[in-house]
Copies of this chain bind each other. A is one copy, B any other.
Amino acid sequence: MYKSGLSFVEVYSELEHSVLALDAVVLSKTTAFQQLDIVDSSLYGRSLVLDGSWQSSSRDEAHYHEALVHPAFLAYAAAHGAAGPSTVLILGGGEGATAREALRWPSVTKVVMVDIDGEVVEACKEHMPEFSAGAFDDPKVELVIGDALKYLADAGADANGPRFDVVISDLSDPIDDGPSQALFTREVFASVRGVLSPEGVYVLQAGQVSPFLEMHVHTYSTMKAVYPHVLGYSTDVASFRSHWGFMLGAFSDAYAPQATCLGRPAPFSPLFAASAIDTLLAGADLTDSLQLLDGEGMLSMVTHPKWLRTAYARATKVFSSSDAELASYTTTLDDENEPAAAQ
């Protein structure tokens, strides 16, 4: 039984939508780039919505942001026998929660965050301060309001420009006419190399794995066209009503496939060793402060059902900046979504 009142309608496609009752609308405005809504609901808490697409909710944003940030940091730390990365670039991440998670690592000395929409950043600082938890006031954090693509091009072209141990892409999905539409392409993925330290790791939120995995597996094949070492992983984000995907990429063979508990080699292999992950987290004093991540939580993200590995193995599409179809991947079913007998 559904009752009358203020609601949020999220239209996934012309074939499916959901309706969520709201307690309050904290802010609703059209910025220079997109529609921005901050809403409260009993089910998911305070939430950010951009162009009608759910971004993050207080109830479970920690799950999303931990999954986005810590695997890359852990992989970097394991590969270097060090405490973790020093320099971090965040593309997008307007809520400030990605920066918050990065700042948990004592090894971090610098976080640059590039977001195109300063109005979103300001609104989140005012109305969702617990998402950034002071990150915007941290002297290690440099906030750049600007185009992530331009930042990558300029910084990469500058021989003395900044280089980062971890680059985090926290951009909204390349759907519709939102500002992130052109950002999930071979060209963009390649341009990240220009700002990545040689042993660095690139991680991106990479679209839903379920119910519709096309965007995610095509992002995987696009990443594979650029990065020699790629690992997809995923976890559940309740407020998305989806299983959400992420992706690690690296050029350094420090991340090359090695033996895992699965009985098969895999890139970023330390992420499959639960006890070692627990040890790394303890070293960064992160044993008690995380909600999703510990050794077993990490393993739950990198192990996959057979159908997902089959889809990765079959994916061949490479998104290019000249690809006119970019807008429509989340809702189109194609053969690659079909389960298969063998990987």
Residues of chain A having any CB pair with chain B under 8 Å: 1-11, 13-25, 28, 35, 37, 39, 41-43, 51-53, 62-63, 209-212, 235-239, 241-243, 261-264, 274-275, 278, 287-297, 299-301, 303-307, 309, 333, 339-342
| Contact assessment for B238 and A241 in the assembled complex, using a CB-CB cutoff below 8 Å | no
Residues of B within 8 A of A339 (CB): 62-63, 291-292
Residues of B within 8 A of A28 (CB): 6, 22-25
| Residue from B43, B303, B342 in contact with A16 in the complex, judged by beta carbons closer than 8 Å | B43
Other than the given A2-B15, A5-B35, A13-B43, 17 more pairs (CB < 8 A) read: A1-B2, A2-B17, A3-B52, A6-B6, A6-B8, A6-B37, A15-B20, A17-B19, A25-B28, A63-B307, A209-B236, A210-B238, A262-B296, A263-B274, A289-B341, A294-B306, A300-B300
A/B interface sample: 20 pairs, CB < 8 A:
A4-B9, A4-B11, A4-B51, A5-B8, A6-B7, A7-B19, A9-B21, A14-B21, A16-B19, A63-B307, A288-B342, A291-B340, A292-B307, A293-B306, A296-B303, A296-B306, A296-B309, A297-B306, A300-B303, A300-B304
CA distance A300 to B233 in the complex (A): 11
| Residue from B11, B210, B236 in contact with A1 in the complex, judged by beta carbons closer than 8 Å | B11
Residue among A22, A63, A236, A288 with the most chain B CB within 10 A?
A236
Residues of B within 8 A of A236 (CB): 209-210, 236, 243, 305
| Contact assessment for A7 and B4 in the assembled complex, using a CB-CB cutoff below 8 Å | no
The 10 closest A-B pairs by CB, nearest first: A4-B52, A1-B1, A211-B238, A263-B275, A291-B339, A25-B25, A300-B303, A15-B21, A261-B261, A210-B236
| Contact assessment for A261 and B288 in the assembled complex, using a CB-CB cutoff below 8 Å | no
| Contact assessment for B42 and A4 in the assembled complex, using a CB-CB cutoff below 8 Å | no
Residues of B within 8 A of A341 (CB): 288-289, 291
CA distance A74 to B14 in the complex (A): 41
Residues of B within 8 A of A9 (CB): 2-5, 7, 19, 21
| Contact assessment for B274 and A262 in the assembled complex, using a CB-CB cutoff below 8 Å | yes
Instruction: For residue A106, give the distance in angstroms from its CB to the closest CB of chain B.
Output: 19
Residues of B within 8 A of A4 (CB): 9-11, 17, 51-53
Residues of B within 8 A of A237 (CB): 210
CA distance A212 to B241 in the complex (A): 10
| Residue from B291, B296, B306 in contact with A291 in the complex, judged by beta carbons closer than 8 Å | B306
| Contact assessment for B3 and A11 in the assembled complex, using a CB-CB cutoff below 8 Å | yes
Residues of B within 8 A of A301 (CB): 305
Residues of B within 8 A of A262 (CB): 274-275, 295-296, 299
CA distance A35 to B241 in the complex (A): 26
| Residue from B7, B295, B340 in contact with A8 in the complex, judged by beta carbons closer than 8 Å | B7
Residues of B within 8 A of A37 (CB): 5-6
Instruction: For residue A177, give the distance in angstroms from its CB to the closest CB of chain B.
Output: 12
Residues of B within 8 A of A292 (CB): 305-307, 339
| Contact assessment for A239 and B211 in the assembled complex, using a CB-CB cutoff below 8 Å | yes
Residues of B within 8 A of A20 (CB): 15-16
Complex: chain B residue closest to A67, CB-CB: B305
CA distance A7 to B25 in the complex (A): 11
Instruction: For residue A84, give the distance in angstroms from its CB to the closest CB of chain B.
Output: 19
